[in-house]
Amino acid sequence: MITRKRVLDLIDKGEGLNVEFKQRFSSHEKIAKEMIAFANTRGGFILFGVDDDKSIYGIESEKSDLDLVKETAAKFCEPPVEINIDVVEIDNKDLLIAEVTESKKKPHRIQDYKKDLSLNDAQVYVRVNDKSVLASKEMIKLLQSKSAGKTLEKYVVGDKEKIVFNLLDKQETVTVKELSKFANISDRRASRTLIKLVRANLLLIHQKENGESYFTYAG
């Protein structure tokens, strides 16, 4: 159970990687987007009844909003997202706090009623700073590998990998497009190479707010 003091601390710090404010419940899809982003990243809190500028409005109906939030987590996220819900009174107004735990079943996506996740059109979100953004294909593949417990313990560094390291020595970051250009290979092969390097714990993947990924040395 979350304490009143913890809620006040969350409001005071404002929105960020682990905190999202919602003045009211808008739609199942929009709330599912936030839940999925937290579940796919490091978990977090959605505070209903609080505006972006930290103004406290409160919720209209505890039971109605509670049911809507539960329904969103169970039916509009695939697979369903695990949440804990509390109602806390601040300034004589009720706030609904939905805590989303970091998932072990990544990647979650907006419910599309498909048996398998499609890299081309699945709406998979991750958290970047204070925003929930669409994950890149590389990020999705790495989330899949991590959930499956797949790591590369033995990995042979070849010519493509050496090009990656040369680029990183010069410019500190590298993208799929850059590797594709300098190694004269397809985007698909470039993507596969960078993903394998992350799985081998040689690189880190980072997500931009525009949905693109870039890579840096690990450590």
Same domain, 170 and 119: no
For the segment 156-210, what is each residue's pLDDT rounded down to a tens digit? 889 999 999 999 999 999 999 999 999 999 999 999 999 999 988 899 999 998 8
Confidence of residue 211 (pLDDT cuts 50, 70, 90): confident
User: Do residues 90 and 169 share a domain?
Assistant: no
Average pLDDT, the chain: 94
Residues 104 and 149 in one domain: no
- Does residue 83 share a domain with residue 63? yes
In this structure, are 129 and 153 located in the same domain?
no
In whole angstroms, give the CA distance from residue 40 to residue 64. 27
Q: Which amino acid, residue 145? A: S
Q: Which residues contact 106 (CB under 8 A, 6 or more apart)?
A: 39, 40, 143, 144, 146, 147
Q: What is the pLDDT of residue 115?
A: 92
Residue 153 maps to which CATH number? 1.10.10.10
29: domain CATH number is 3.30.950.30
CA distance 38 to 85: 15
Give tens-digit pLDDT for 116-140.
999 999 999 999 999 999 999 999 9
Per-residue confidence (pLDDT) for residue 155, from 0 to 100: 76
Query: In which domain, by residue range, is 182 found?
Result: 142-217
Q: Rounded to an integer, what distance in angstroms lies between the CA atom of residue 38 and that of residue 128?
A: 10
**Euclidean distance between CA atoms 162 and 89, whole angstroms:** 57
Domain count, the chain: 2
Whole-prediction pTM:
0.89
* Two structure tokens written together for 131: 């925003």
